[in-house]
Structure 1
């Protein structure tokens, strides 16, 4: 169950589409959106205006972000013992790119191609949304 979902994406059209697919998939959650890697880390660490932010049950992380890219966000997230178990789905621009990212790094819980479809979001929510990382 995904109670709190963090979408990290700098493209408003992609965010709107993701929200539409979440609705189509029947995933009822509080959805939080940030547009770059620095804001993502501030949200996750509950800093500044995010001091009262909930801990996400799932993060949808675009790989290409301004200020700090997905690789940097994921590395910092996994190195922080308080956040290392937050489930993350990395979003890539193509299937080849997703496969390359998966081969280079095992840090994410899953890799997917944007735009995500409703069925795929539902599977991620069911598989990752209520579970914490074991490694």
Structure 2
């Protein structure tokens, strides 16, 4: 049952991420996300990196309250959120944006489709007219570009 909680939470994080990316990061908190699109930051860190800390708070609270009397469902909800955050870091920051220069020459149709969709997202430097707000599940047209040749 605990594994199922972690798995469902991980999968559910995708629509949550899409919603937050579209309506919070490209809305109310655009001031923190803007430098991720227009590259106006200096150095390796962006204001956008504050979202890492903001989004870790629910998981930390779930870990804490879910471990007060043994490990209850809240602990496993926190674990699902954390695992999604780790996946996000590896795919978004390392693979797509190459903050650490590895995984450059992948031939994986899935990863190439995600990279292409993210590139489409970044062609817009303003908060309006965005597209492809998802992370692990992007519009099917990007998958078709790479899976038809594999």
TM-score by length of 1: 0.27
Greater helix proportion: 2
- Bigger proportion of residues as strand: 1
Work out which of the two has the higher radius of gyration on C-alpha atoms and give 1 or 2.
2
When the two structures are superposed, what TM-score results if normalisation uses the length of structure 2? 0.26
